[in-house]
Amino acid sequence: KRATRPTLADVAKHARVSTATASRVIHNTGPVSHELRKRIQGAVASIGYAPRSTTIPVSEATLAVLAGNLANPYFPEVIAGIQEEAASYGIGLILFNLTESPQNQQQILHRLEKRTLNGVIVMGGQPFPELFTWRDQAKIPLVLINHFVDKPDVYSIGIDMENAMCRATQYLISLNHTRIGHIAGPSSWGEISQSRRRGIERAMAEAGLAFRPEWCSVVSPGSQADGGFHAMNNLLELPSAERPTAVIAFNDMVAFGALHAIHASGLRVPQDISLIGVDDIFVAAHSKPPLTTIDQPKYRIGKLAVEIAHQASQGREDLRNCTLLESPLIIRESAAPYNPNAS
């Protein structure tokens, strides 16, 4: 039987310390007493431990960032965090515009294959199967923002969207809304769309309320504000006694389109229809009315994505595969108590 390669956990066990302490010594990422350092270094030598590949010096390191729909202000805010953290490590960045086009995806893969990288960050686009196949061959860290998969050396960072949507729905229920609609992302966006709807349905079910299929209107792939406008118009076509009195949009850009549709129909937000977005992009506080929305700590997400990719590329074996950040509901003026006299 072939001997297995010693791991960080083996070093920690041999030195009688935690894996975190062993990692601090091996990667020189924190203070450790002289006695512990000697013990851990002795364990490394004794069992023949070698960290995973560190073939790319930090001074030559490059991260590829695959981003979808850069027109959405959410992404520049994440990229700002990515740039800040990458600069602190001296890491170079290559930015790719990721779409749902198979041709676009193949072009990106072709360009990735030609480069020496020490990590890839994906945000805003559905990770495509060929990307995982390539990663398995390239043996470099892959960090997904707001996509969660269970694969070796694939790391996810974002917010618990299902619970965040559940809390937003509970807030609307506390305002006496019982007909709560959703402008959803297309099914091709996978879990990033499904988790939102699950959160809404869960909160309504827990409150003894039904979520009717006609209260969910789906935007087309690639659309944002324009998709929100058309999707909201679909909801507004329902009879006034049956349409939602509150709507949670897929994101803030979709919410802005919905807001325009509501105003264009002669209705008011929040007097006739309450509206909630997701992301808290910088313009959300300046819409009319200011948008109530679920916050995503965009800058911090970007910084952590780089930190995770860098640490993984340097052989850290004690990294969490999934990192979830807080996502508070930012209450502004676009959601109000149910108005039985609404138009």
User: Which pLDDT score is estimated for 259?
Assistant: 98
Least confident segment among 21-25, 205-209, 224-228, 298-302: 21-25
Q: Is residue 292 within 8 Å of residue 329, measured between CB atoms?
A: yes
User: Cα separation of 150 and 191, whole Å?
Assistant: 13
Beta strands in the chain (DSSP E): 62-67, 92-97, 120-123, 142-145, 154-159, 180-184, 216-218, 246-249, 274-279, 292-295, 322-325, 329-330
Percent of the chain with pLDDT over 70: 93
103 or 51, higher pLDDT: 103
User: Which pLDDT score is estimated for 20?
Assistant: 65
First-to-final CA distance of the chain = 75
Token pair in block for residue 223: 């659309």
Per-residue pLDDT at 57 exceeds 60: no
Per-residue pLDDT at 59 exceeds 80: no
Average pLDDT of span 30-39: 79
Average pLDDT, the chain: 89
Q: Is residue 312 within 8 Å of residue 306, measured between CB atoms?
A: no
User: Which pLDDT score is estimated for 190?
Assistant: 80
Average pLDDT of span 25-38: 75
User: Which pLDDT score is estimated for 28?
Assistant: 66
Average pLDDT of span 172-179: 98
Radius of gyration of the chain (CA): 24
Q: Is residue 322 within 8 Å of residue 156, measured between CB atoms?
A: yes
Per-residue pLDDT at 265 exceeds 70: yes
User: Cα separation of 143 and 33, whole Å?
Assistant: 33
User: Which pLDDT score is estimated for 38?
Assistant: 85
According to CATH, the superfamily of the domain at 161-295 is: Response regulator (3.40.50.2300)
Average pLDDT of span 16-25: 74
User: Cα separation of 319 and 331, whole Å?
Assistant: 34
Token pair in block for residue 90: 């001296």
Per-residue pLDDT at 29 exceeds 80: no
Per-residue pLDDT at 58 exceeds 70: no
User: Which pLDDT score is estimated for 2?
Assistant: 40
Q: Residue 43: in which H helix or E strand, if any?
A: helix 34-47
Average pLDDT of span 224-239: 96
Task: Give the model's confidence band at 315: pLDDT under 50 very low, under 70 low, under 90 confident, else very high.
Answer: confident
44 or 199, higher pLDDT: 199
User: Which pLDDT score is estimated for 153?
Assistant: 81
User: Which pLDDT score is estimated for 56?
Assistant: 45
Q: Residue 200: in which H helix or E strand, if any?
A: helix 191-206
User: Which pLDDT score is estimated for 53?
Assistant: 46
User: Which pLDDT score is estimated for 69?
Assistant: 78
pTM for this model (two decimals): 0.80
User: Cα separation of 39 and 15, whole Å?
Assistant: 6
Task: Return residue ranges of the chain for CATH 3.40.50.2300.
Answer: 58-159+297-325, 161-295
Per-residue pLDDT at 136 exceeds 60: yes
Least confident segment among 74-78, 90-94, 232-236, 314-318: 314-318
- Give CATH for domain 58-159+297-325: 3.40.50.2300
Mode of pairing for the β-strands spanning 329-330 and 292-295: antiparallel
Neighbours of 33 (CB within 10 A): 9
Average pLDDT of span 143-171: 93
